[in-house]
Amino acid sequence: MQISDAKAIVTGGASGMGRAFVLGLARDGATVVAADMNAEGLESVVAEAKELRGTVYGRTCDVSDEADVIAMIDGSREDMGGLNVIINNAGIFRDGLLVKTDRETGKVKGSMSLANWQKVIDVDLTGPFLCTREFARSFIDNDDGPEAVVIGISSISRHGNMGQTNYSAAKAGLIADTKLWSLELARYGIRTGAIAPGFIQTPILDGMKPEMLAHLVKGVPLRRTGSVEEIYSGVKFIVECGYFTGRCIDIDGGLVL
């Protein structure tokens, strides 16, 4: 599939990597729906895309809400006259140690709350499940063939990163689902792929203290952060390479956690 033929949904499309994907796709001639809970951010990205080759629509959606996802998928198909790409990018953090002890007493004084566990699982794992299920339903029922692509944005943290029990579990689960869905959906012409970014220069890293960021970068063999454009190059490859499915591309500068 050529990028210019894509009718794509990008969840979490109002900011960060998602916004870069939306604008990159539109710059390359695709038709795109940016889905996000941030209505103001959606208005901004739609306005920014006005002069690009492609067309961008905005739709508010909570990816952890089933009714919201169904409405977003069906509405996006109406907006674009079909669907053939979805990028499951929406994600959140609620970091914390599983248990934290008091230095003086050695007793547990805190732990990761069930609410923080569940919220990350709901958005980062249930969200892609709901979006992919409804995307596949729409593509199959409407005979939008011959080909569709599902891309999940995982993370280097899928290997297990201290303080990220919830996030690591969700991002590892997304990789497992990417492989599983490739087997289940291939008969319908739907390919799958995932990208696991390392430290990418987004507003999250922009807000870090310089000394903390420098400490993180020390562990990266390439000795720098990645750019959102470099992650987008992985998105383009998955969309355009018709013999790619069920795999994860690590774009992390060689970093190993």
What digits encode the pLDDT tens for the residues 146-173?
999 999 999 998 898 888 999 999 999 9
pLDDT tens-digit readout, 12-61: 999 999 999 999 999 999 999 999 999 999 999 999 999 999 999 999 99
To the nearest 10 degrees (0 to 180), the angle between helices 16-27 and 228-240 is 50
Q: What is the pLDDT of residue 152?
A: 98
Handedness of CA 90, 96, 179, 123 (dihedral sign): negative
pLDDT tens-digit readout, 164-221: 999 999 999 999 999 999 999 999 999 999 999 998 888 777 777 788 788 888 889 9
* SS3 (DSSP) at 227: coil
- Contact between residue 34 and residue 19 where contact means Cβ atoms under 8 Å apart: yes
255, part of any domain: no
Catalytic annotation, residues: 167
Strands across the sheet with 55-60, in order? 55-60, 31-36, 7-11, 85-88, 148-153, 190-197, 247-251
CA distance readout (Å), 132 to 66, 124, 165, 241? 12, 13, 24, 20
Which domain covers residue 121, as residue numbers?
3-247
256, part of any domain: no
Distance CA 176, CA 168 (A): 12
* SS3 (DSSP) at 250: strand
Residues 6+ away with beta carbon under 8 Å from 143: none
- Contact between residue 18 and residue 35 where contact means Cβ atoms under 8 Å apart: no
157, part of any domain: yes
Whether omega before 146 lies within 30 degrees of 0, making that bond cis, reads: yes
Whichever domain contains 94, its CATH number is 3.40.50.720
Q: If DSSP states are collapsed to H, E and C, what string results for 73-138? A: HHHHHHHHCCCCEEEECCCCCCCECCEEECCCCCCEEEECCHHHHHHHHHHHHHHHHHHHHHHHHH
239, part of any domain: yes
Cα distance from N-terminal residue to C-terminal residue, the chain: 34
Handedness of CA 83, 11, 47, 229 (dihedral sign): negative
Q: What is the pLDDT of residue 19?
A: 97
66, part of any domain: yes
Question: In 3D, which of 236, 231, 230, 96 has the Cα closest to residue 166?
Answer: 96
- Our count of domains for the chain comes to 1
Distance CA 42, CA 58 (A): 5
253, part of any domain: no
**Whether pLDDT at 142 is above 90:** yes
Q: How many Å separate Cα 198 from the centre of its chain?
A: 13
User: What six digits make up the tokens of 139?
Assistant: 């593509």
Distance CA 16, CA 172 (A): 21
